[in-house]
Structures are given as C-alpha cells and as structure tokens.
Chain A
Amino acid sequence: MSATAIIGTGQTRHSSRRDDVSQPELVREAAEAALADAAVRPGDLDAVLVANMELFEGRALPELWTGAGAFATGKPCMKVATGGTSGTSGCIAAFHQVAAGLFDLVLVVGFEKHSEGHAQTGMALTDPFWDRAVASGALGNFALSISQYVAERGVSAEQAALVAVKARRNAARNPHAHLRMGELTVAEVLSSKMLADPVRLLDMCPQSDGACAIVVASAAVARRRCRRPAWVLAAETRHEQPYIGDIDRRLVTMRTLRDAARAAYRRAGIGEPLADLDVAEIYEPVSYAELAWYEALGFCGPGEAGRLAEEGVTAMDGALPVNPSGGVLSSNPVGASGVIRVAEAALQIHGRGGERQVEGASRALATGYGVYAWADAVVLGAEGEAA
C-alpha cells in the first residue's frame, strides 16, 4: 500500500439552521475551504467522494444534487453511506483509492442538513418487522445500551456530565462549533431536561446543519504541496449484525470499535494509546458513550473511564486531550461528523488548530460510529510516510 496523506481541511459554520444556503451551496462552502487550505484548484482534483445518508434531508439521491457543489462535474464521483460512520468511511474510501495508486488528489465532502428532513423518522424507518413498531431511534438505542453500561461499570451521571462539560468548554474555542455555550456546570447538565433515562438534554449532541471536506493526496503530491502532511498511518473499519437486541453490541464492549482500534494501533505501531497518541477526535453522540469508548479504545481498563473524566486526563491540558473541537456533543451534522473527526485530527497534525491546537501533536486518532453496525478508526501522524 502506498503512503497517503491529508493536505487540507475545510468546514462550514455549523448551526441548527443554515437557511442562507441550499444543500449544494453548503457542500461548496466546505469544499472551497478545504481546497483553499490545501492550495489545490478544483481542476487539479482526480476524484470526489461524497458522504451522506438517504432520507435524513428528505431528498433522493443527495449525491446527484451536491456533486456539483463538490466540484465533481466531469470527474469520478461516488457516495459512501454507512450511517453515522459515512464521513469516516468516505475518508477511508479515499485513502484506499489513493493508496491503490488510482488517484493523486481526492476530495471528500460530508454534509447534513438536519433542519430540512426529519432524522428521527429516518432512523425509525428500519426493519419493518422488528424495529418499526418498537424502535426509538438513535437516542432509544443509546439509552438502552447505557442502562447496561451504567449497571455493569458503575458509571455515575456526574461522571458523564463531566464529559458534557468538557465538550462545551472545548467547543467555545472552535469557531466552527454549533453549540458554543462556554462553561457549563455539572449541576446544569444534571438538571437539564430528561430525554430518555438516564440521558439528559445536555448529555446529548445537537442536530446540526453543516459540511466538512478534506483533501487526500498521494505521497509525492503531499510532499510537494504540503509543509507538514498528516500521513495516514492506519484506517480500519468493522461491520456488525444490525439488531440491537443481540447482546454483544452493547456500549460496554462495543466490539466493532474495539476491534477497529486494535487493528489500527497494530498497523500504526501504537502500543499504549494513552501514552502514544497526542490527541483523539472520537465520535461521541452522547456523554456516556465517550466514557464507554475510552475502554473500547484502550485508554483505560474496564470501569476506569469515569476516573479518567474526573482526573481531567482527557481535558485539553490532560495526558490525552479528547475532542479539542468540542466533538459531536457540540456539532452533529451527521453525514459530515465523521469527516469532521478526521479533519480535526489532521488539523492537529498540520499544526493549524488555532485556539484548539494541542501543542506539538504528532499522532492523532479519529473514530466514527454508525448505529450499532459500524465503527471506524483512523490514525494520522506527522511522520510515517514509509509506513
């Protein structure tokens, strides 16, 4: 496999309603920003990948309408859709295309306009026999799984609230973030509206309009065009059976994420994730999930995630800052969210994170989460072209 790198990133301003732009215009905003960041002209692109899901914006074939926004006219263009992982999967598909030697420059754009369709209904339109009469969307799935996680690991609502507080504190330093609430208190989280026991409003991600893009380059092009490329050290994806009642896919173990991360660490030469990684951008739609996934990602042992949050190990000034961007808890344009994780990780390697930069970051993890059925793990590095 040939070396591959990310040489540019770009995002829109994310918010609850971007009525000032249509879906293709939203995509264009992110695509233009990424091309400008990479100093690449639209004509230089060899191919375009679009990440998004059907039904969330109530529009058939979103890739048909948004491809032009992504400068795809006259170029190879495909959509990648794997639920919430669509964005990370789209990035991984581009890594594959470049690593295989097919293309030298690929643009990946993920987008979502939650304000226009009805995501919760989209989520409810699952298996007509087993799910439609009883399913309660992403939040319902999370709440069920969290009840098991809390019972088995003894995680407290206060520990989960610390994650929610950290996310919004970090988001205040990210000009793209949707929720820029600044400093919250644990008490504010614990007194916010109950959505589905034990998940409260401030434990949960918002629904956002937004788009994000990255420019993926082959080794030769990356060296020529980028001062400090974010090299792709590993990119792994795992699929799982879809039924939520199949007990193995609980948050407690999250074996898709665990297995994707283990494989990625092996390939990237990461022995001790907490020590070897400088920063992580993980896909956490709900505070409790971030704690559960500290375990799945090997940041700590079983039942130790709450302590990590209490001791600030994953805060901006901790040993391993998790989600300097504010994470999915602060912006969730679903189709874009996975691309945002990868873009934010690349931004850290590029050293262009501004107020949210982790000093000297040279190894970054990005993850994606798609319903219960997909998990992606991507490791980027400042060095490792030869990997």
Chain B
Amino acid sequence: MIVAGRVQIPFRYAAGAAASRFGVGLRDERRILGARCGGCGRVLCPPGPFCGRCGAAAGDPVAVGPGATLVAWTELPGRGTFALVRLDGADGALVHRLLEAVPEPRAGMRLRARFASERHGDIRDIEGFAAEGAGG
C-alpha cells in the first residue's frame, strides 16, 4: 500500500552581510559588488561569505562587471542556457543564464550583464547575460 501527499514548509533564509551588500547594490544602484578575500586578495563574485581558495572571510566590497567573459555553458531544453561567467575584475565565476541574444555561445566570448527593470535585491535583479554590443 502507498500513501502520498504534499506538505508545505515555511522557510526563510538570512542572506548574511556579504550577500546582502550584493543584493542591495543590484537593487539600488545596478552595481555588481564582489568582495576582496581578506586572506589571499582574490576578488570573489558571488561574494563569499568565504574564499573558496584560502577559506578566509570575504572583506571589502569591490565593484565588478557589468562586462564579463563566458567560461562554460549548457542548454537545458525548455529552461534556457545556464552559464558560468567571469565578471570583469572578479577571480571566480558566477552561475547565471544567457539571454536569447547569445545564439552561438563560445568560451571566452564577451558578455554584458542586463539588469531587470524591477529589482528586489536578489540574483534575479540580473536578468541574464547578453553578447557584448548586443544592446540592453
């Protein structure tokens, strides 16, 4: 015999200091804020809270992008193209999506972040990445 059902679970998540600065920068200034690692000096984007390389806490905010370089991508049928992009000035790569304006992605190609017109302080405030010079 099988029993089945659905259950709703309330859930909220405190973003913490580094992620909050990132969200507020996107929402209020259309700025992408990475953070400089307090240990090895790499620029983290997404910012922390910890450096993936040396483990130290993220330090001061550093503006990165909106220009970026495509590192890797994959197409998910019906869900668009997911990509790893390295924002100009950052050492790590950010997981995001490519907009339709990128018909033939290739590693190393130049991209530019496009911001959403309505922004709420989360990662969706970046609508996606388009090929540089494609407008938007």
* Complex interface: stretch among B7-15, B73-81, B105-113, B119-127: B7-15
Assess the B3–A128 pair: CB atoms within 8 A: yes
Bound Cα distance A121, B6 (Å): 13
Q: Could you tell me which residues of chain B, from 1 to 43, have a CB within 8 Å of some CB in chain A?
A: 3, 5, 7, 9-17, 19
From A22, A28, A118, give the contact of B13 (CB < 8 A). A22
Q: How large is the interface on B (under 10, 10 to 19, 20 to 34, 35 or more residues)?
A: 10 to 19
Q: Is the CB of A68 within 8 A of B9?
A: no
Could you tell me which residues of chain A, from 54 to 96, have a CB within 8 Å of some CB in chain B?
55, 57-59, 68-69, 71, 73
Separation in Å of the A335 CB from the closest CB of chain B?
16
Interface pair A55/B9, CB less than 8 Å apart: yes
In the complex, which residues of chain B have a beta carbon less than 8 angstroms from the beta carbon of A129?
3
> B57 within 8 Å of A by Cβ?
yes
Known: A116-B11, A117-B11, A129-B3. A25 touches B16 (CB 8 A): yes
Beyond A22-B49, A42-B55, whether A113 also contacts B14 by CB under 8 A is: yes
Nearest-neighbour CB distance to chain A for B98, whole angstroms, equals 26
Contacts of A21 in B (CB 8 A): 14, 16-17
A20 within 8 A of B: yes
Pairs of residues from A and B, 6 with the lowest C-beta to C-beta distance, nearest first: A22-B16, A58-B11, A19-B14, A68-B50, A25-B16, A118-B10
Residue A125 at the chain B interface, CB threshold 8 Å: yes
Q: Which residues of B contact A180 (CB under 8 A)?
A: none
Number of A-B contacts (CB under 8 A): 68
Distance to closest chain A CB from B47 (angstroms): 11
| CB contact between A20 and one of B3, B9, B12, B17 (< 8 Å): that residue | B17
Closest to A42 in B: B55
Known: A69-B49, A117-B9, A121-B7. A22 touches B15 (CB 8 A): yes
Within 1-51 of A, Cβ neighbours of B (below 8 Å) are at 17-25, 28, 42
Q: Any chain A CB within 8 A of the CB of B136?
A: no
Closest to B1 in A: A129
Instruction: Report yes or no: A68 in contact with B52, Cβ–Cβ below 8 A.
Output: yes
22 A-B pairs within 8 Å (CB atoms) are namely: A20-B16, A20-B17, A21-B16, A22-B15, A23-B14, A24-B50, A25-B49, A55-B9, A58-B10, A59-B13, A68-B49, A68-B50, A68-B55, A73-B50, A73-B52, A115-B12, A116-B12, A116-B14, A117-B10, A117-B11, A121-B10, A125-B7
CB proximity of B126 to chain A, nearest CB, Å = 20
Docked Cα-Cα span, A22 to B23, in Å, equals 14
Chain A residue numbers with a CB within 8 Å of B55 are 42, 68, 71, 73
